[in-house]
Structure 1
Amino acid sequence: MFPDDESETPEELEEEIPVVICAAAGRMGATMAAINSIYSNTDANILFYVVGLRNTLTRIRKWIEHSKLREINFKIVEFNPMVLKGKIRPDSSRPELLQPLNFVRFYLPLLIHQHEKVIYLDDDVIVQGDIQELYDTTLALGHAAAFSDDCDLPSAQDINRLVGLQNTYMGYLDYRKKAIKDLGISPSTCSFNPGVIVANMTEWKHQRITKQLEKWMQKNVEENLYSSSLGGGVATSPMLIVFHGKYSTINPLWHIRHLGWNPDARYSEHFLQEAKLLHWNGRHKPWDFPSVHNDLWESWFVPDPAGIFKLNHHS
């Protein structure tokens, strides 16, 4: 035995990687599949912060404790939707994007304490790589967050298949409005997708990011600043404004997205194997019909011990 061969200090051994993910009542199966995929593909010490509204907290706990996920380290965090009062316009073309939990990413430092660096993930993702790699993303000095650019799509053929996709600021902001014009941001600026975020909590608080985001939510309620053609930017638009020119980038393989965009558009098998993280953003979710590449998602599905959440893979 070599008891002295523990070269790491206790601090290094104990470093936790905090992963924040929401669990919404109607799609809790998504959250559990994402958690399962992360936990199964890493040796790192993950602490899951599972965020829900008050009426779902017991169900979240039961699902984790009465399934194969019982081994994970987790904390359940209640999100109080009252913080959003007066900050959301009700007239979105996709009402599901107005769900309060969509805005949890705006409030990370209020929900998570004692961590310098945090990963936030949307619930409709699957992680195929070691999340330690994503956590090790370098954030430049003065940057509160890293995102994946919308112009870093893998190839031209993929862009052609994703007809109607928004990948510039013009797709999210209404450039006819003075408040938007006055920002001086070119409408052809590349947007980013905030479904995968690596965030620095110290910088976030220092720059008062949450306050800035709230300001732009309130301005939108008053002046309707966001583009009506929105593919899902109710939470994206304020972030595009606040983080413009002030964010680091995530390795593109850590955010292969648009799998939910078009049920007829498929990626190559080779490309999907290379991907570290898959994101079914768009309407076509892998637990519903029609959807693509749902076999990849389903391999991580954790059946609901309460029998409420069911897969719907038939027309």
Structure 2
Amino acid sequence: MSLLPQLSLILRFPMLIILSRWFSTLSLMGLPMELCKLGSKVTTLRGAMIEVQNIEEFTWLNVSYAPIVKQLLDVDSRAYYFGENPDVEPRLQNPKYIALLNHLRFYIPEIYPQLEKIVFLDDDVVVQKDLTPLFSLDLHGNVNGAVETCLEAYHRYFKYLNFSNPIISSKFDPQACGWAFGMNVFDLVAWRKANVTARYHYWKEQNTDKTLWKLRTLPVGLLAFYGLTEPLDRKWHVLGLGYDLNIDNRLIESAAVIHFNGNMKPWLKLAIGRYKPLWERYINLGHPYTQDCATS
């Protein structure tokens, strides 16, 4: 299967995008009813099948199995993330940090028990080149193929995790290199063998008091995939188009996937002007759903 270059998916809500070579499938999990992506000029996927899944049908994703579900139902956690606790810093009061859709990435083997390898994409990316070669990359026994982000010192483990806590400092290297979610190759055979989902569960349970890390799904991902991540060439995944004003144009042009991570999404009025055309070229700007996306 030749994965469609220049595939742009634009959403206002978190969603997981899974590319499967074997099933020739693009799977969308947690699809909202009003999709900004309906304004896209991309109308075919060259014979690929689109599968839309409903998270409510994942009956195994329940309190007895998934710590994130337990956290969602916990009164104190809801007060913490939903802005009901005046003692919590405003930047931490964001429901997305405990949104099920943000945590589904840790359950991909359960969602696709027959699959052996997948490519994972976040919802704020544009695919500029054929991703087929990713399926034949040798991950050397690792679970996660990802682009490292430690070109800057602040993307090392000590910036994401609380190394004053012995449970962290005794198990992890503070100088270990961080990596990015958003364009990942996952070997699901190796994932199941290493039981990565159980590792994720363990660390979620350890952090119920929020002393090991505060924000996002990346810190728990760094823990769960520690020692199981294969660095990919930076050209596979160029990040920062949602916050960095100074990304080299040559790097953007050579990238297979460009990622609008950050607050300045290309469909928002506060988007970075020089990057916005990279998204707009694939969008029918006259479509009502696209216009509905253009919010500040």
Q: Same fold (TM over 0.5)?
A: yes
Alpha-carbon distance in 2 for matches of 1:101, 1:304: 29
Question: CA offsets, 1:42-79, max 9 Å, x none?
Answer: x99841010016xx3x656x949x97248641111222
Which residue number in structure 2 is paired with residue 268 of structure 1?
Answer: 248
1:123 and 1:304, CA in 2 relative to 1: closer, same or farther beyond 3 A?
farther
Quick check: 2:11–2:124 contact (8 Å CA) kept in 1? no
Matching residue's letter, 1:51: M
User: Where do 1:212-251 residues align within 5 Å?
Assistant: 212-226=199-213, 228=214, 230=215, 234-251=216-233
User: Where do 1:261-300 residues align within 5 Å?
Assistant: 261-262=243-244, 265-292=245-272, 293-300=275-282
**Pick from 170, 178, 186: which aligns with 2:158?**
170
Alpha-carbon distance in 1 for matches of 2:154, 2:10: 25
Question: CA offsets, 1:200-237, max 9 Å, x none?
Answer: 111111211111101111211145310x4x5xxx2111
Alpha-carbon distance in 2 for matches of 1:284, 1:101: 21
Quick check: 2:127–2:256 contact (8 Å CA) kept in 1? yes
- 1:26 is the counterpart of 2:12: yes
Quick check: 1:150–1:167 contact (8 Å CA) kept in 2? yes
Matching residue's letter, 1:171: K
What TM-score results when the alignment is normalised by the length of structure 2?
0.75
User: Where do 1:34-73 residues align within 5 Å?
Assistant: 46-52=24-30, 56=32, 63=38, 68-69=43-44, 72-73=48-49
Q: Secondary structure at the match of 1:123?
A: coil
1:44 and 1:106, CA in 2 relative to 1: closer, same or farther beyond 3 A?
closer
Which residue number in structure 2 is paired with residue 4 of structure 1?
Answer: none
Quick check: 1:260–1:291 contact (8 Å CA) kept in 2? yes
Q: Give how far 1:168 is off.
A: 0.8
Matching residue's letter, 1:85: V
Which residue number in structure 1 is paired with residue 85 of structure 2?
Answer: none
**RMSD of aligned residue pairs (Cα, Å):** 3.6
Alpha-carbon distance in 1 for matches of 2:114, 2:22: 18
Alpha-carbon distance in 1 for matches of 2:10, 2:101: 7
Quick check: 1:169–1:187 contact (8 Å CA) kept in 2? yes
Which residue number in structure 2 is paired with residue 85 of structure 1?
Answer: 69
Which residue number in structure 2 is paired with residue 75 of structure 1?
Answer: 51
Quick check: 1:168–1:188 contact (8 Å CA) kept in 2? yes
Question: CA offsets, 1:161-209, max 9 Å, x none?
Answer: xxxx8411112111122221221x2222211112221011111112111
Q: Give how far 1:27 is off.
A: 3.9
Q: Give how far 1:121 is off.
A: 0.8
Q: Secondary structure at the match of 1:192?
A: coil
What TM-score results when the alignment is normalised by the length of structure 1?
0.71
- 1:206 is the counterpart of 2:193: yes
Unaligned runs of 5+ in 2: 4-8, 82-91
Structure 1 vs Structure 2: percent identity of aligned residues?
22
Aligned pairs, number: 263
Q: Give how far 1:114 is off.
A: 2.2
